[in-house]
Amino acid sequence: MPDRRSFIRSLSSIPLVGGLLSSRRALAAPRKRDYFKELGIRPIINAAGTYTALTASLMPPEVVAAWEYGCRHYARLDELHDAVGRRIAELVGCEAAMVTAGAASAITLGTAACLTGKNVRFVRQLPDLSGMKSEVIIQKSHHFGYEHAIRNCGIRFVEVETREDVERLAGDRTAMMFFLNYGEPAGRIKAAEFAELGKKLNIPTFNDCAADVPPAENLSKYLKMGFSLVTFSGGKGLCGPQSAGLLLGQRDLIAAARINGPPNSDTIGRGMKVNKEEMLGMLAAVELYLKRDHAADDREWRRRIGVISRAISTIPTVTAETYVPEIANHVPHLRIRWDEKQLRITHAEAQRKLREGEPSIEPVPGGRGELAIGVWMMQPGDDKIVGRRIREILLSAG
């Protein structure tokens, strides 16, 4: 039987062996896997844009590097949250900022901040609004598919249409005034006037600008206009992590939003977790985006449109024109139309054939009476493939 000293010597060798094995594992490069193929998923060519259902944008190498750095290091999450928020606020030129779990998460946390402030008892109480302000003003034309992110805080919407409506209906129960940026053309109260009204009535104003970058100046435009809070999606035009977003605005409201969110327990935002990878990825994305040559981006997008347009230019009755959406996804797109009777194919059928073909191509969803193509999320060479496939589909229909 070994003596005690021999046994201790044998134990001391175990970490060394483990370390050697770990080092060998670390030196071996992981096997590259085609996950989509393994899972039976067909990749697509994104000829639509930054739609969440199409996994939005792709992260550039600088953002991937920041993400990978986060994967290899631990940190105190609150400390990192604060530091990243300060850096992003400096870059954008606003009082304060925080990284959120997407724009919808930012809407919930911003709403909660306007309701609770820094009152921890109120934070724990949500969505029970007993003893708290409970109403959010919204224009009738600004209702949208993500407003559950506001309603889950327990609020009641108060609908308005005019400035006079706001001044008449705002009161002691009003916690926030909400503005949907892409809904501005449909509303009678425009963004600047809405922000001014909030200042006059001493009510926080929140502008949802989720898909409104580019242009880059929008990151600060609406805060300079006077909005208290603004949100942007991280995984759209900024090309950050798809699971991240930005909440920008007043220092006191951002601080209150932080209290209502992770890693704090028993809060309405606890499930909206943002880890170090998303935070560093968003920081890198904002840094990179503000340094980009946006004029060069525009030229490249228009070049891609030209490639697709030329591929179909000789087909009878086909017309192709460039258009830029007024607010959201404010980049060059291509609109294609044709005589459905002469070519014997509808625009909807052409969309279906693009999706079902090889490779699978996703055009801009919807669009009755036209085939709309977004080029800004395409990868090199995709424009030629898209142009060829549209040409094949239209020529083979007859």
Verify that 139 and 211 share a domain, yes or no: yes
Residue 175 has pLDDT above 50, yes or no: yes
Verify that 306 and 249 share a domain, yes or no: no
Average pLDDT over residues 159-179: 98
Mind listing the pLDDT tens digit for each residue in 231-271? 999 999 999 999 999 999 999 999 999 999 999 999 999 99
Verify that 239 and 325 share a domain, yes or no: no
State the residue range of the domain holding 365: 294-397
Position 27 scores a pLDDT of 53
Asked, for residue 2, whether it belongs to a domain, the answer is: no
Verify that 233 and 123 share a domain, yes or no: yes
Verify that 267 and 219 share a domain, yes or no: yes
Task: Judge whether 348 and 340 are in contact, CB under 8 Å.
Answer: no
Verify that 126 and 267 share a domain, yes or no: yes
Return the C-alpha torsion angle 118, 120, 122, 128, nearest 10: 130
Residue 6 has pLDDT above 50, yes or no: no
Residue 25 has pLDDT above 90, yes or no: no
For residue 307, the domain's CATH number is 3.90.1150.110
Average pLDDT over residues 195-205: 98
Verify that 87 and 213 share a domain, yes or no: yes
Share above pLDDT 70 across residues of the chain, in percent, rounded to a whole number: 92
Residue 46 has pLDDT above 70, yes or no: yes
Q: Looking at residue 344, what DSSP letter applies?
A: T
Residue from 227, 141, 230 nearest 191 by CA: 227
What total number of domains does the chain contain? 2
- Cβ burial of 242 (10 Å; 0-12, 13-18, 19+) is buried
First to last CA, the chain: 90
Asked, for residue 243, whether it belongs to a domain, the answer is: yes
Average pLDDT over residues 273-292: 97
Average pLDDT over residues 60-88: 97
Residue from 206, 148, 152 nearest 174 by CA: 206
Verify that 309 and 167 share a domain, yes or no: no
- Which pTM does this prediction carry? 0.89
User: Among 272, 291, 310, where does a domain finish?
Assistant: 291
Task: Judge whether 197 and 177 are in contact, CB under 8 Å.
Answer: yes
Q: What angle do CA 285, 290, 292 make, to 5 degrees?
A: 95
Verify that 158 and 211 share a domain, yes or no: yes
Q: Between the CA of residue 15 and those of 9, 255, 306, 316, 369, what are the distances in Å?
A: 12, 44, 62, 75, 69
Position 397 scores a pLDDT of 84
Asked, for residue 27, whether it belongs to a domain, the answer is: no
Asked, for residue 384, whether it belongs to a domain, the answer is: yes
Who's near 132: CB < 8 A, 6+ residues apart? 115, 116, 122, 125, 175
Average pLDDT over residues 51-75: 96
User: Among 263, 291, 319, where does a domain finish?
Assistant: 291
Position 317 scores a pLDDT of 96
Verify that 197 and 220 share a domain, yes or no: yes
pLDDT, the chain, mean: 93
3-state SS class at 211: coil
Mind listing the pLDDT tens digit for each residue in 145-161? 999 999 999 999 999 99
Mind listing the pLDDT tens digit for each residue in 320-375? 999 999 998 999 999 999 999 999 999 999 999 999 999 999 999 986 899 999 99
Average pLDDT over residues 372-384: 97
Residue 102 has pLDDT above 80, yes or no: yes
Mind listing the pLDDT tens digit for each residue in 108-150? 999 999 999 999 999 999 999 999 999 999 999 999 999 999 9
User: Among 235, 262, 291, where does a domain finish?
Assistant: 291
Asked, for residue 58, whether it belongs to a domain, the answer is: no
Average pLDDT over residues 211-224: 97
Asked, for residue 111, whether it belongs to a domain, the answer is: yes
Position 31 scores a pLDDT of 82
Residue 396 has pLDDT above 70, yes or no: yes
Position 163 scores a pLDDT of 97
Verify that 163 and 244 share a domain, yes or no: yes
Residue 200 has pLDDT above 70, yes or no: yes
Residue 10 has pLDDT above 90, yes or no: no
For residue 103, the domain's CATH number is 3.40.640.10
Verify that 393 and 305 share a domain, yes or no: yes
